[in-house]
């Protein structure tokens, strides 16, 4: 067995001295790497296990894609909206994509404000925000003024600073290596 240096094993308690409970949290999963939505689905599973009503709004993924996440979450009682038009580079008319994203935001805003769900996931909302299709100030205001018990998870690359500022936890997913760049197609069960 290899010898370990003493500094490899934590011996000091890293927790803050005064911990408090929050009625809800805002999480942002951002960065160029794969796994932002997957991490959000882990939170969804925890919420379901705790008996929370959960809602997921997908801003880019189309309802025709039939992802594994959607299939199992619907079986588990998650309210699910796949509102996107798909990849923008395949779009024949981006004004339609923009209108669909605006409609998805209307759904998300109503869902958050109603307070019927204890967890709301805004999957890939950063893209239409960054493209100017959805007003970041409105997204921030809706999240900031949500009912106390509503937790929100935001996913997508290049999250706006205003979203990072209101988040309790921000995770940046790095891109170290991806099978796609080696010519491997997305795989059912792994990627969707």
- Domain map of the chain by residue range? 24-173
Residue with more model confidence, 46 or 82: 46
**Residue 40's pLDDT is what?**
98
**What is d(CA 11, CA 159) in angstroms, rounded to the nearest whole number?**
35
**Residue 7's pLDDT is what?**
67
Look at residue 60 and tell me whether its pLDDT is greater than 70: yes
Residue with more model confidence, 84 or 175: 175
Residue with more model confidence, 96 or 46: 46
Q: What's domain 24-173's superfamily in CATH?
A: P-loop containing nucleotide triphosphate hydrolases (3.40.50.300)
58's enclosing H/E stretch is strand 54-58
Q: Supply the mean pLDDT for the chain.
A: 91
Please give the angle made by the CA atoms of 172, 127 and 176, to the nearest 5 degrees: 35
Q: 135: which strand partners? A: none
What pLDDT digit, counting tens, does each position of 124-169 carry?
999 999 999 999 999 999 999 999 999 999 999 999 999 999 999 9
User: What is the reported pTM?
Assistant: 0.89
Q: Compute and round to an integer the Cα radius of gyration of the chain.
A: 18
């Amino acid at each position: 067995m290899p010898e370990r240096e003493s500094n490899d094993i934590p011996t000091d308690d890293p927790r803050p001295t005064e911990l408090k409970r929050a009625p809800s949290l805002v999480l942002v999963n951002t960065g160029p790497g794969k796994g932002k939505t997957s991490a959000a689905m882990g939170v969804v599973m925890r919420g379901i296990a705790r008996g929370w009503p959960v809602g997921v709004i997908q801003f880019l993924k189309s309802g025709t894609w039939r992802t594994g996440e959607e299939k199992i979450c619907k079986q588990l009682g998650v309210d699910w909206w796949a509102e996107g038009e798909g990849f923008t580079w395949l779009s024949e008319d981006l004004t339609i994509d923009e209108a669909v994203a605006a409609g998805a935001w209307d759904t998300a805003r109503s869902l958050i404000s109603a307070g019927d769900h204890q967890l709301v996931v805004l999957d890939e909302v950063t893209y239409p925000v960054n493209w100017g299709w959805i007003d970041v100030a409105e997204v921030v205001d809706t999240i900031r003024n949500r009912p106390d018990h509503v937790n929100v998870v935001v996913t997508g690359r290049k999250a706006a600073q205003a979203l990072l500022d209101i988040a309790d936890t921000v995770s940046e997913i790095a891109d170290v290596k991806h099978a796609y760049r080696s010519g491997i197609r997305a795989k059912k069960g792994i990627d969707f």
